[in-house]
Amino acid sequence: MKLLKGRGFKHSGIFALLLFIIILIVLVLVFSQQILSNISKLSSSANLIALLVAIIFPLILLIVILYNIINLIRERTQKKPGVHLKIKLVLFFALIAFLASGPQALLSINFIKSSINFWLKAGIGDALRGGLSISLDYYQSKVDNLKMFNKSRAIPMLFNGITKNPDSVWENIRNINPEISFVQIYNDEGNEVFFRGDKNGKLKDFAAVHNRTGILPKVEKQDISILRSIGKHTIDGKTYTVIAGIILPAYFNKNASNLTNSLETFNQLNKYNRLFIYAVSIFYFLFTLPILLLVILLSFILTDELLRPIVDLENATRRVAEGDFSFRILSRSEDELAILISSFNKMIGELSTSREKLVHAEKIAAWQDIAQRLAHEIRNPLTPIKLSAQRILKKYKSNPEDLKNILENSVTAIVNEVDNLDKLLKEFREFAKLPNPHPVMVNVKEVVEEIAGMFRSLGESITIETNGISDKITVKADPAQIKQIFSNLFRNAIQSIDESMRTQGVISVIADIVKKEDIQYCRIQIRDNGSGIDEEYKDKIFNPYFTTKKQGTGLGLSIVERIVFDHNGHIWFESKKGVGTTFFIDLPHGEING
């Protein structure tokens, strides 16, 4: 039994591709994270590489897909099984992928666009700018306050007695200017003589600031900011350095930087908003395109895998339809298709056995028919033989002298009938007991021409055309039997043409080599322009003793069929009433001479 291999799903290919898609998605995510966080650090060569990858990778994919499409078109012109379904499935997959990604891209980009626009229009810019100007004003007021304090003419008076009664001095300062957080005073020699207020404001390194005046740069310490102003003042005749300071609240610093950062972002967004959406669209496209292409590629592979069992099934069905019941499909997968395939195999098995039974029954019926006909045919001459014998006996008994008169007639009749019987039995034996073929290489053209010559010498006025046979075509066959085939078929062809029309009759013989499932056959066609075969007789003409002719035996085609089968060949015919009949014979091809 031949087994048609139904390849199981080639999972590895699909898995590899799926893995590829997943890796690509991860890469996209990582890459986008990376570039978004520090794009400025990427060198322009890295930029170039990224762009090249973004172009080359999809290009390679595109080429592979194009190759697949060309393949598909070629398969279509070759009418390979399953190709239409394949095209449909691929188109369907591509459409689904496109439908899934296209609107999503539009939606995402639109969403980004409208949310950006929403934020830009919601008055956030004004709020940020307002907030910034308020905080700047607040800060400026502190700075001005400190400046004013250190320029104030009242300082020498205010600090009178810093050594004797520092606490009351501090109290006075606080009363006059409650915003001051601390005051630190150094003498000429750089020694601290006074400190009151928030300890955080205490300056440790006087040398660094000793010859500066005015506002010092703001100092940030942990989460507070310290503003200091320095002034030189003469108190009680001596010069002192007065450092007054304000400690800004813990959150000020953080909020201020948040505010400036937000404003920076906002301004950038405002300025680059269109460009940004444009860039996002391009990015989206660059990252989606390869994924889309991969999906299409996947659809090609998947379709192949999906269709394979169906194609196998189609193949097998076709072979069964051609009469080859020995096929079974192997399937390793365990899905619904496997069930389908196993029931197909079962069906073919049952079909095959029932066909065998039918053939057997037909054979028996045919033999019964033959037996009946044979009995009938034998019986027909028996009656005249019996009658003649009885007549002789009767004459002999009643009038022996008269015997002479009828003896010759009767015995001649008996001999004739026995001859007839002999002929019948001879032909029957020819049919029933064909000798085993002794095949040798036979040149088809030579055989056909020999038989044609024989018919011509018998005075048939028909044309036998043999130009359609290549000189070199040979078959491995029994020469006598192959001659019998042509002789029987030619005779039938001639008989199918009305006697008055014989001169216009043409029998043409064509022979060529065909290939079926790796085996070479010689296909011989015998075409006539005779009466054709009635539709109702078409499935009977090969039956033994089936004939539509008065003098026919009905054994001609049976013999031809037997010989063809004995040579492992195949015979069938096409016929159209009133147009003609063509018999096709496939015989295993020997080899081409020369």
Ligand X SMILES: Nc1ncnc2c1ncn2[C@@H]1O[C@H](COP(=O)(O)OP(=O)(O)O)[C@@H](O)[C@H]1O
Shortest Å, Cβ 580 to ligand X: 8
Beta strands 327-331 and 2-6 are parallel
Binding of residue 40 to other proteins (CB under 8 A):
yes
Shortest Å, Cβ 491 to Mg ion: 5
Shortest Å, Cβ 372 to ligand X: 17
Binding of residue 279 to other proteins (CB under 8 A):
yes
Closest CA to 442 of 434, 433, 451: 451
Binding of residue 36 to other proteins (CB under 8 A):
yes
Question: What DSSP string describes 266-299?
Answer: HHHHHHHHHHHHHHHHHHHHHHHHHHHHHHHHHH
Binding of residue 269 to other proteins (CB under 8 A):
yes
x-or-dash pattern for Mg ion, window 482-501, by CB under 5 A? ----------x---------
Residue 279 interacts with, from other proteins, Mg ion, ligand X, none (CB under 5-8 Å by kind): other proteins
Shortest Å, Cβ 55 to other proteins: 13
Residue 496 interacts with, from Mg ion, other proteins, ligand X, none (CB under 5-8 Å by kind): ligand X
CB neighbour list of residue 254: distance below 8 Å, 6 or more residues apart = 223
Chain contacts with ligand X (rule: CB under 6 A): 492-493, 496, 528, 530-533, 537, 541, 546-549, 552-554, 556-558, 581
- Helix axis angle, 11-38 to 250-321, nearest 10°: 160
| Per-residue DSSP letter, 589 | B
Residue 44 interacts with, from other proteins, ligand X, Mg ion, none (CB under 5-8 Å by kind): other proteins
Shortest Å, Cβ 373 to ligand X: 12
Q: Which residue is nearest to ligand X (CB)?
A: 556
Residue 241 interacts with, from other proteins, ligand X, Mg ion, none (CB under 5-8 Å by kind): none
Shortest Å, Cβ 431 to ligand X: 10
Q: How far is CA 175 from CA 204, 226, 233, 245, 523, in A?
A: 27, 21, 20, 15, 126
CB neighbour list of residue 55: distance below 8 Å, 6 or more residues apart = none
Q: Which is nearer to ligand X, 86 or 483 (CB)?
A: 483
432-436's contacts with Cβ under 8 Å and 24+ in sequence apart are 434/481, 434/559, 434/562, 434/563, 434/566, 436/566
Binding of residue 37 to other proteins (CB under 8 A):
yes
Shortest Å, Cβ 555 to Mg ion: 7
Shortest Å, Cβ 191 to other proteins: 29
- Taken in order 379, 385, 388, 391, the sign of the CA dihedral is negative
Shortest Å, Cβ 457 to ligand X: 21
x-or-dash pattern for Mg ion, window 531-560, by CB under 5 A? -------------------------x----
414 backbone dihedrals φ, ψ, rounded to 5°? -60, -45
SS (H, E, C) 542-553: CCCCCCCCCCCC
Q: For residue 322, give both structure tokens.
A: 């051609």
Q: Which is nearer to other proteins, 136 or 359 (CB)?
A: 136
Binding of residue 126 to other proteins (CB under 8 A):
no
Q: Which residue has the tokens 């073929």?
A: 437
Q: Which stretch binds other proteins (CB under 8 A): 42-50, 336-344, 390-398, 410-418?
A: 42-50
Question: What DSSP string describes 5-51?
Answer: EEPPP-HHHHHHHHHHHHHHHHHHHHHHHHHHHHGGGS-HHHHHHHH
Residue 276 interacts with, from other proteins, Mg ion, ligand X, none (CB under 5-8 Å by kind): other proteins
Q: Which of residues 344-383 bind Mg ion (CB under 5 A)?
A: none
Which of 35, 289, 378, 434 contacts other proteins by CB under 8 A?
35
160-163's contacts with Cβ under 8 Å and 24+ in sequence apart are 160/235, 160/236, 162/193, 162/194, 162/235, 163/193, 163/194
- Let me know: does 297 contact 17? Beta carbons within 8 Å: yes
Shortest Å, Cβ 37 to other proteins: 6
Amino acid (one-letter) located at 263:
L
Residue 132 interacts with, from Mg ion, ligand X, other proteins, none (CB under 5-8 Å by kind): other proteins
Shortest Å, Cβ 176 to other proteins: 25
Q: Which residue has the tokens 């037996």?
A: 371
The Cα 185–Cα 478 span in angstroms is 136
CB neighbour list of residue 511: distance below 8 Å, 6 or more residues apart = 444, 445, 468, 469, 470, 473, 522, 523, 524, 525
Q: Which is nearer to ligand X, 6 or 530 (CB)?
A: 530
Q: Which is nearer to other proteins, 220 or 322 (CB)?
A: 220
How many residues bind other proteins, per CB under 8 A?
A: 31
Q: Which is nearer to other proteins, 256 or 485 (CB)?
A: 256
x-or-dash pattern for other proteins, window 285-324, by CB under 8 A? ----------------------------------------
The Cα 190–Cα 576 span in angstroms is 132
Q: Which stretch binds other proteins (CB under 8 A): 269-277, 398-406, 439-447, 540-548?
A: 269-277
Beta strands in 205-250 (DSSP E): 214-221, 224-235, 238-248
The Cα 386–Cα 544 span in angstroms is 29
Q: Which of residues 203-262 bind other proteins (CB under 8 A)?
A: 217-218, 256, 260
Q: Which is nearer to ligand X, 241 or 581 (CB)?
A: 581
394 backbone dihedrals φ, ψ, rounded to 5°? -60, -50
End-to-end CA distance of the chain: 36
Contact positions vs Mg ion (CB under 5 A)? 492, 556
Residue ranges that bind other proteins, judged by CB under 8 A: 35-37, 39-40, 44, 47, 50, 132, 135-136, 139, 217-218, 256, 260, 263-265, 267-269, 271-272, 275-276, 278-280, 282-283
